[in-house]
Chains A and B, each alone.
Chain A
Amino acid sequence: MHNKNQYLQEELLRTSGVNPKKCMRCGKCSATCPAYDEMEYHPHQFVNMVESGDIEPLLNSKSLYRCLSCFACIDRCPRGVEPAKLVEAVRLAAIRKQGANHLKADDVPAMLDDDIPQQALVSAFRKYAK
């Protein structure tokens, strides 16, 4: 079967270091995900969809920006698949495109309050902009 996303798929697997073939479809990653309710595609679906080359819907999904980077799915996967690494790889593939930053500096002032720690800002730029 021809996979039009073969190049992208290879890049995602290489940069994430994830081997989706190790997944035994138990769903524990999604069960433990604290952002599950906010995600259109859940951690186990990232694993399955990247494996099958169905990557376009993931690239355009807001699920990319709901991952909390809490590493729960990484630690609790009984097979060591580490789905969050794949979520991040897809997110980077999306925001690394020219002009595709999810967070724009001009939008930041409206999000600030007097107490917000610098940590929130630097993390947001790390996660959502290139």
Chain B
Amino acid sequence: MKVSYFPGCTLKTKAKELDAYARKCAEVLGVTLEEIEDWQCCGGVFSTSRDEVATKLSSVRALKAANDKEQPLVTVCSACHNVIKQTNHQVQTDAEFADKVNRYMAPEAPYSGETAVYHYLEMLRDLVGFDKIKEKVVNPQTGKKIAAYYGCLLLRPNKVMQMDDPENPSIIEDFIRAIGAQPVIYASRNECCGGYVTMESPELAKKKSNAVTGNAAAAGAEMMVTACPLCRYNLVKNGSEIPVVYFTELLAEALGVKEDTNA
């Protein structure tokens, strides 16, 4: 299976391991991630303002590129996924916005929101299947107690993201079980770490991230997994008691395409 892939700015720089293991693991699972040519940064945060048009064109171009190849669009970064999926939804539901973006881009055929947008985790669940992943695991992560950190961007706004139950999600816990580890449930797994204000208000970001990591550690977790480079940076910088790793790193260990990070 081939899918269009939008890596995003951070996966090309500070989060190269998130990108590299995503590609390697996808190959093992029978999926080829075809990077969109000349993709542009999504901007990192979706503007809910209906008159913000030009700032969303990079997302629409990526969506259109995937549609031209008749492929679903897959992202790994939580923020890219959130921005692109919300932009797609706006194209689908706001006729004035759709008209404006198509006038800007002047494509041969207008884009009307046809592309299916998947986060990599959704790809694992819905296109590959956690059962198949279980079969491909050669290095089960037995005994690891792992806290799934969803944060805000994967789940909200739920009426658009439609990934999982926004208040009681299970997709990352199911992923953790599929690679043979033990998920740890804790209250703050879908609360915000304050990542977006890490520059604007470092104190607020510290307070919020400590609440999340402290809660996970108190619940008995040995490590946390996230899909978001900004969450990871923010949680680690503010002194998480437990390691915070990308979910693709653990997947790569389980599938035997990466050395154990604890070795």
Contact = CB atoms under 8 A, between A and B. Distances in A.
Chain B at the A interface: SS class: loop
A68 B201 CA distance: 10
Interface string A54-86: 000000000001101111101100000010110
B77 A34 contact: no
B142 interface: no
B256 interface: no
A119 B229 contact: yes
Given A75-B166, A123-B79, A127-B45, A69 B196 contact: yes
A81 to B, nearest CB: 13
Contacts of A72: 152, 156, 191-192
Interface in B9-28: 9-10, 13-15
A51 B109 CA distance: 41
- Chain B contact-residue range equals 35 or more
Interface residues of A, number: 39
Given A120-B233, A123-B196, A16 B49 contact: yes
A69 to B, nearest CB: 5
A70 B230 contact: no
Contact of B200 (A71, A103, A119): A103
A105 to B, nearest CB: 12
Given A117-B10, A118-B13, A124 B200 contact: yes
B10 A70 contact: no
A15 interface: yes
Interface of B: 8-10, 13-15, 41, 43-45, 47-52, 55, 77, 79, 151-152, 155-158, 166, 191-192, 194-201, 204, 208, 229-230, 233, 236-237
30 contacts: A15-B49, A15-B50, A15-B51, A16-B48, A34-B191, A38-B204, A66-B197, A66-B204, A68-B196, A68-B204, A70-B152, A70-B191, A71-B157, A75-B157, A82-B157, A85-B49, A89-B49, A103-B200, A115-B236, A116-B199, A117-B10, A117-B14, A119-B229, A119-B230, A122-B9, A123-B43, A123-B44, A123-B230, A126-B45, A126-B55
Q: Which 6 A-B pairs have CB atoms at the shortest separation, nearest pair first?
A: A123-B44, A70-B192, A71-B156, A70-B152, A122-B44, A118-B9
